[in-house]
Amino acid sequence: MKRIGLVDTTFARVDMASLAEKEIREGYGDVRIIRRTVPGVKDLPVECKILLDEGCDIVMAFGMPGKKEIDKVCAHEASLGIIEAQLMTNKHIIEVFVHEDEAENEKELYQICRDRAVKHARNAMSLLFNPEALRRRAGSGRRQGGEDVGGVHE
Amino acid sequence: MKRIGLVDTTFARVDMASLAEKEIREGYGDVRIIRRTVPGVKDLPVECKILLDEGCDIVMAFGMPGKKEIDKVCAHEASLGIIEAQLMTNKHIIEVFVHEDEAENEKELYQICRDRAVKHARNAMSLLFNPEALRRRAGSGRRQGGEDVGGVHE
Amino acid sequence: MKRIGLVDTTFARVDMASLAEKEIREGYGDVRIIRRTVPGVKDLPVECKILLDEGCDIVMAFGMPGKKEIDKVCAHEASLGIIEAQLMTNKHIIEVFVHEDEAENEKELYQICRDRAVKHARNAMSLLFNPEALRRRAGSGRRQGGEDVGGVHE
Amino acid sequence: MKRIGLVDTTFARVDMASLAEKEIREGYGDVRIIRRTVPGVKDLPVECKILLDEGCDIVMAFGMPGKKEIDKVCAHEASLGIIEAQLMTNKHIIEVFVHEDEAENEKELYQICRDRAVKHARNAMSLLFNPEALRRRAGSGRRQGGEDVGGVHE
Amino acid sequence: MKRIGLVDTTFARVDMASLAEKEIREGYGDVRIIRRTVPGVKDLPVECKILLDEGCDIVMAFGMPGKKEIDKVCAHEASLGIIEAQLMTNKHIIEVFVHEDEAENEKELYQICRDRAVKHARNAMSLLFNPEALRRRAGSGRRQGGEDVGGVHE
């Protein structure tokens, strides 16, 4: 049975991991989900790496960087750590970050979070169970958090 | 007995590590606290890593980047090193940085420092002793250094 | 037989990997091509590293960063990870990124993608089979995605 | 006998390593000092690492980034490498960088260099021989290259 | 016999490696020079590391970042990779980058390239054969690509 780690933060304002967990449970019954919560995005890389070293096959990392310049820097640092953690383990961590200033109000913020969390949950499952599904969508302008933009052809 | 490392700097203007130590000693009697001081934030990563390699279960890193542009760059470099040190040890380092320009005066600066140091001390203890406490707060908009902003729901 | 990995994304809007695959198949019959698709550019580094660790001799990584500032940051993070993956494996990853804002319209976007994908496919093959071909072009102002600018001599 | 490495550059305009060496020799007779010079700040990380791997207990790295934007980027890259070298060796490298544009004239430039080199030499010696001296100064607003700014208390 | 690697790109507009090779051959007969060419600056780090792992004692990396903002980012990424490659091998890589916008015309561009390539070739040889020559120039304001600016004394 595949093991999927979901790591989120207390800093974020939307419970994205639960949205992803629901999507995974409904679509892929035969998996084990392990959840962890850390304070902020900079605490995500090591927690994801711990889960991968403990046997998770893939991890999703959920975060919501704030509106300040320093928040952008923190997100950048976290992303670099998440990439490094993957290179150290040869496993994927699907980063699901929603920047608070992507939305103009709380309703929109929630919608972006739900769309991105759900679609990336499907991406994570495709990487594990059905890589061919991703292959068929190569270069087709897929987006998480909003509508796809489509491919450009000759 | 769990070992907690507290590493701070002579550069900072507030003794945040002592505020955290007090919080930990009052709430979690059965721990051993090891303190170290380095000159500036860029000296924090290796000192934290040394403590983790010597057996600390978690480390808190306290720093106060100054107001100049170069200070922001130093903080960014330190943060990247702190993340890397965690990935090399598979243990958490809770970064407690207060930027000097977050406050408009010294009184406010002290208040931010106290709030952030104390709350992150609790976060560090939760990671060690009570991860479920963090899990219950997932996506709930917690802040250290100021008031929580709260979660956003459907 | 040499093994060449081609990794692309569902985020990109042009199927660059297929353009590169066609170029390679037509010019270098005796190779084995392995293709993989990941969601976005930040998922490329680990997928490339996995392929290299599994025996690929070289990998090409195709991505199309979007127009937003955050997209530029993601591309930067991906590039750093791609460089690190090479240092960990001592093999080349040829990065083929086309920034969506390099072009003024979709037709131009496709042309840039095709030119860059095809020329970099030749570069990758030269690194594998004919390094002397690259040596002869040292310092000669070659460009991928547009016209060469030429060398400057005494 | 403790071994202290001092690495500087031909690019810098002030011989800071000699100022630090003088401070160390006068205050701490029983040490062995090893000096090395490299072209620029980006050559410092590996030279410091070589010295640490060869048995130095601590290294000081002296550099003077120029006034141009590219010089700032070089200094940033060097600093990241210096932090990484420390994490790879579990030893301290005290970075002593003076940016040429910190001073308005050559006299001031020299004064900043002397103050920073001498104070950081003392910091390096404290890390080796007297960490308690640093502990007593935690959070007290110490500065190298200018006057201390002092601590902020409740 | 010492082995010196020279790695350059097809992207650059001046054949700097040949200028450095000429300087080395004329001044230091008893060395073996190995040359490699890669497409762009981001391909330099791994090629340099391969050469160092294969026995080169030092490597020079030549590149010419273009005028666009993205070119600056690529150069930054390459530089970070070059520093990391050095830390992984404990050997020096002398980076010889000339930014295309350092010069106002092609004649000046060539002059900067020649000056920087030749002086850094001497630096590389000094690191290998005569480190004392660098030591004597510590803090003396040496420049590659233009005139020295000189030291500042008390």
Give the helix/strand (H/E) hosting E123. helix E106-129
Put simply, the answer to whether A95 touches C42 (Cβ < 8 Å) is yes
Domain ranges of chain D: 2-135
Quote the CA–CA distance of B133 and A6 in Å, as a whole number.
16
| Chain C touching partners, 3 or more CB pairs below 8 A | A, E
- Tens digits of residue pLDDT in E32-73: 999 999 999 999 999 999 999 999 999 999 999 999 999 999
CB contact under 8 A, B142 and A110: no
Query: Mean of the pLDDT values across residues A23-28?
Result: 95
Angle, vertex CA B51, rays to CA B47 and CA B56, nearest 5:
150
The overall average pLDDT reported for chain D is: 97
Helix (H) or strand (E) holding B66: none
Under a CB-based contact definition with an 8 Å cutoff, are residues B138 and A37 in contact? yes
User: Would you state the pLDDT for residue B116?
Assistant: 98
Arithmetic mean of pLDDT, A10-25: 98
- Which percentage of chain C shows pLDDT scores above 90? 98
Q: Which residue of E has its CA nearest to C121?
A: E39
- Select from D18, D74, D42 the least CA-distant residue to E136: D18
pLDDT of residue D103: 97
Nearest Cα residue in chain A from B138 = A10
Neighbors of chain E by Cβ distance (3+ pairs < 8 Å)? C, D
Give the distance from residue D62's alpha carbon to the nearest chain B alpha carbon, in angstroms.
Answer: 15
Nearest chain B residue (CA) to D124: B39
Q: Which residues of E touch D17 (CB under 8 A)?
A: 138-139
Q: What is the pLDDT of residues D66-118, one digit of tens each?
A: 999 999 999 999 999 999 999 999 999 999 999 999 999 999 999 999 999 99
Contact (Cβ atoms closer than 8 angstroms) between residue A14 and residue A64: yes
Q: What is the pLDDT of residues B75-127, one digit of tens each?
A: 999 999 999 999 999 999 999 999 999 999 999 999 999 999 999 999 999 99
> Is B8's Cβ below 8 Å from some Cβ in D?
yes
How sure is the predictor about E29, in pLDDT bands with cuts at 50, 70 and 90? confident
- Residue A14: pLDDT above 90? yes
Judge whether E59 and E17 are in contact, CB under 8 Å: no
Facing residue for D45 by CB, picked from E86, E123, E137: E86
Across the interface, whether the CB atoms of E18 and C139 are under 8 A apart is answered: yes
Average confidence (pLDDT) over A142-154 = 97
The answer to whether A139 contacts C9, with C-beta atoms less than 8 Å apart, is yes
Judged by a CB distance cut-off of 8 A, whether residue C87 touches chain E is yes
A83 touches chain B (CB under 8 A): no
**Tokens in use for C131?**
């390094």
- B131 to chain A: which residues are within 8 Å by CB? 36-37
A99 inside 8 A of chain C by CB:
yes
C-alpha C75/C-alpha E69 separation (Å) is: 13
- Could you give the C-alpha distances from A112 to A72, A143, C66, in angstroms and in order? 18, 11, 17
Where do we find the tokens 């500065």?
D143
Residue E10 and residue C134: Cβ atoms within 8 Å?
yes
Chain B contact probe: residue of D102, D118, D134 with most B CBs at under 10 A: D134
Query: Does B35 contact D135 at a Cβ distance shorter than 8 Å?
Result: yes
Query: What pLDDT does residue D29 have?
Result: 77
Question: What is the CATH T-level fold of the domain B2-136, as seen in this structure?
Answer: Rossmann fold (3.40.50)
CB contact under 8 A, B39 and D138: no
CA distance A110 to A105: 9
By the CB < 8 Å criterion, does E105 face chain C? no
Please state, for a pLDDT cut of 70, what percent of chain C lies above it. Answer: 100
Residue C93: strand, helix, or coil: strand
Contact B76 A80 (CB under 8 A): no
Does residue D123 sit at the B interface (CB-CB below 8 Å)?
yes
| Nearest chain E Cα distance for residue D99, angstroms | 13
Of D95, D127, D141, the CB nearest to B42: D95
Touching chains B and C? (3+ Cβ pairs < 8 A): no
Distance between the two ends of chain D, CA-based, in angstroms?
A: 43
For residue C18, which amino acid is it? S
Q: Which of E59, E80, E87 to mutate to test the interface with D (most CBs of D within 10 A)?
A: E87
Confidence category of residue B148, pLDDT binned at 50, 70, 90? very high
Letter string b/e over residues E114-144, b meaning 16 or more CB atoms within 10 A of that residue's CB: bbbbbbbbbbbbbbbeeeeebeebbbbbbbb
Q: Are E8 and C132 in contact (CB under 8 A)?
A: no
Confirm if D91 and B46 have CB atoms less than 8 A apart. Answer: yes
What are the start-end ranges of the E strands in chain E? 2-9, 31-38, 58-63, 93-97
Separation between Cα atoms, residue B80 and residue A77, nearest integer Å: 6
A59 touches chain B (CB under 8 A): no
E60 and E5 Cβ atoms separated by less than 8 Å = yes
- pLDDT tens digits, one per residue of D2-13: 999 999 999 999
| Partner residue facing A14 (CB), from B123, B135, B152 | B152
Q: State residue A141 phi and psi, 5-degree precision.
A: 70, 40
Mutation for testing the B interface, residue in A6, A8, A9, A10 having most B CBs under 10 Å:
A10
Residues 9-38 of B with CB under 8 A from D: 9-18, 35-38
CB-based touch C/A (3+ pairs, under 8 A): yes
Q: Which tens digit of pLDDT belongs to each residue from A61-108?
A: 999 999 999 999 999 999 999 999 999 999 999 999 999 999 999 999
Nearest CA in chain C to E114: C154
B25-78 pLDDT, tens per residue? 999 879 999 999 999 999 999 999 999 999 999 999 999 999 999 999 999 999
Q: Is the ipTM of this complex over 0.90?
A: yes
Which of E8, E47, E85 is closest, CB to CB, to C138?
E8
Subunit partners of chain D (3 or more CB pairs within 8 A): B, E
Alpha helices in chain A (DSSP H): 16-27, 44-53, 69-89, 106-129, 131-135
What's residue C45's pLDDT? 99
Q: Count Cβ–Cβ pairs < 8 Å, chain A vs chain B.
A: 107
Fold of the domain built from segment(s) C2-135: Rossmann fold (3.40.50)
Among D11, D59, D102, most E C-beta atoms within 10 A, so best to mutate, is D11
Which residues contact residue B141 at a Cβ distance below 8 angstroms, ignoring those fewer than 6 apart? Answer: A11, A12, A13, B148, B149, B150, B151, B152
pLDDT tens, residue by residue, B12-24: 999 999 999 999 9
B91 CB neighbours in chain A (<8 A) are: 46
Q: What is the mean pLDDT of each run of 10 residues along chain C (154 residues)?
A: 97 98 93 98 98 98 97 98 98 98 98 98 98 98 97 96
> Under 8 Å CB-to-CB from D105, ≥6 apart: which residues?
none
Residue A116, classified by CB atoms within 10 Å of its CB into exposed (0-12), middle (13-18) or buried (19+), is: buried
**Strands E2-9 vs D93-97: parallel, antiparallel or unpaired:** unpaired
Q: Mean pLDDT in chain A? A: 97
Read off the pLDDT of residues C67-104 as tens digits, 9 standing for 90 and up. 999 999 999 999 999 999 999 999 999 999 999 999 99
Rounded CA-CA distance B85/A85 in Å is: 12
Element (H, E) at A62: strand A58-63
Q: Nearest residue of B to residue D127 by CA position?
A: B38
Residue A126 has pLDDT above 90, yes or no: yes
3-state secondary structure chain D: CEEEEEEEECCCCCCHHHHHHHHHHHHCCCEEEEEEEECCHHHHHHHHHHHHHCCCCEEEEEECCCCCHHHHHHHHHHHHHHHHHHHHHCCCEEEEECCHHHCCCHHHHHHHHHHHHHHHHHHHHHHHHCHHHHHCCCCCCCCCCCCCCCCCCC
Q: Which of A11, A74, A116 to mutate to test the interface with B (most CBs of B within 10 A)?
A: A11
- CA-based nearest distance D131→chain B, Å: 7
What does the pLDDT average to over D48-56? 98
Give pLDDT, residue A29. Answer: 77
